[in-house]
Amino acid sequence: MSIKIYHNPRCSKSRQTLQLLEEKGVQPKVIEYLKVAPSQAELASVLSLLALSPRELMRKGEAVYKKLGLSDASLTDEQLIGAMIENPILIERPIVLANGKAAIGRPPENVLDIL
């Protein structure tokens, strides 16, 4: 079983989710998405698995969200995905992929449903 976690080691929820997986005997592939942003195809796939729109996956409290005017309702999904690729800090975290499914670890226990 291949399990991935889009992880930010500076985020407490991300650390807690990774720890929870490890406690369950799962050794996920850790993707530090702030260092290596997902591609457009990867992010589109994650959004599809989560059944979320790009805006729903965005961290609206980040300064760059306001700076780039990403609350503008006229922006397309492609533009929002592009903004997340260029500024991966905008991507909600952590995201775990397993068994053809995805879950956001907020709270961390959410990811247990897809294992």
Q: Who contacts 57 (Cβ-Cβ below 8 Å, separation ≥6)?
A: 46, 47, 50, 84, 91, 92
Under a CB-based contact definition with an 8 Å cutoff, are residues 89 and 63 in contact? no
Task: Give residue 11's pLDDT.
Answer: 96
Marked catalytic residue, from 11, 26, 34, 50 = 11
Q: Who contacts 11 (Cβ-Cβ below 8 Å, separation ≥6)?
A: 93, 94
The helix (H) or strand (E) run that includes residue 104 is strand 101-104
Task: Give residue 48's pLDDT.
Answer: 97
The domains found in the chain, sorted by start residue, are 4-114 (3.40.30.10)
Q: Is 11 among the catalytic positions? A: yes
Place of tokens 């961390």: 108
Under a CB-based contact definition with an 8 Å cutoff, are residues 104 and 94 in contact? yes
Task: Give the whole-angstrom CA distance, residue 42 versus residue 39.
Answer: 5
Task: Give residue 1's pLDDT.
Answer: 64
Task: Give residue 23's pLDDT.
Answer: 97
**Residue type, position 115, single letter:** L
Residue-by-residue pLDDT tens, the chain, 115 positions: 689 999 999 999 999 999 999 999 999 999 999 999 999 999 999 999 999 999 999 999 999 999 999 999 999 999 999 999 999 999 999 999 999 999 999 999 999 999 9
Q: State pTM to two decimals.
A: 0.95
